[in-house]
Structure 1
Amino acid sequence: MARPKPVTFDKVKTVADNRRVRFDYFVEDTLEAGLALSGTEVKALRAGEATIRESYAEVRDGQAWLINANIPEYSHGNRLNHEPRRPRKLLLHAREIEKLLGAVERKGMTLVPLSIYFNRTGRAKVELALAKGKQTVDKRNTIKERDWKRDKARLIREKG
């Protein structure tokens, strides 16, 4: 039997990227979720304005929500402009939500967004990660490994 291929998401335009997640957490699993957005939110995202640095996702009443993601008001919007830090509904299947809820409740994991992007069809998507928090020692080891890789690459470049 052939090995399954790793999941790759169809990212055409990345709007926001949370690179800090891989430093603060051990990423166990990733999945793609849609976002329920209003018109001015989509326009602000297309302009490339969003931050997901302090955001996280949670499951409430059988629905998944993206909390604390900042999509600033659209500059050419009128009085119908959106609220920048409002909770946004994540569009997932019921089975996916149950799987996430089980991992968060039983294993003590966290749902964090890795990136917000547009796919080929022009839909705004969020790449979510099921992650476990790192201790300070683990973070030090990550820094040590990163520095060693950088030094090793420099040595190989110099020696030829």
Structure 2
Amino acid sequence: MNNDELTYKDSDGSLVVIMQAVHKLLRSYRQLESDSTEAAGVLIGERRGRHIVICDMSEPGKGDIRNRFGVNRKGLHHQAKVDLVFERSDGAQQYLGEWHTHPENLPSPSSIDENSWRLNLANHKPMILLIVGREGLWIAKQNGNVISPLTMME
């Protein structure tokens, strides 16, 4: 992983772009040490037709419950960040999905992750799911109850 913006595509050719500043911030939460705890937040950005651009994110903070192999995003600051960015952008930027870390090089979702997303992210629009590993990212789009991993564009 480098610090440039990242572009992913799904099977229908829709794109998901992670802006450079967000990518850099996500990397800062990698669980590189043996005592690093999982981190989590929400993804914020724009829907541009069928494409999605992730421009911002919330970070871990007060109220979140974090341990080595789990995280519970409980802090009220996550919703406050979404509300602030929505207001400042005159509604152009909005909540797009969830991110969290895993203490593995190339992350993949656990059954707990998948069940939580299906239960809590029921939405009529596609949502983005992202897991930050020590060396790479796992990213997918959720449409209803269907979770489809995305492919990085070279």
Q: Which has the larger radius of gyration?
A: 1
TM-score (norm 2): 0.22
Q: TM-score, normalised by structure 1?
A: 0.21
* Greater RCO, 1 or 2 (C-alpha within 8 Å, sep 6+): 1
Task: Decide which structure has greater helix share.
Answer: 1
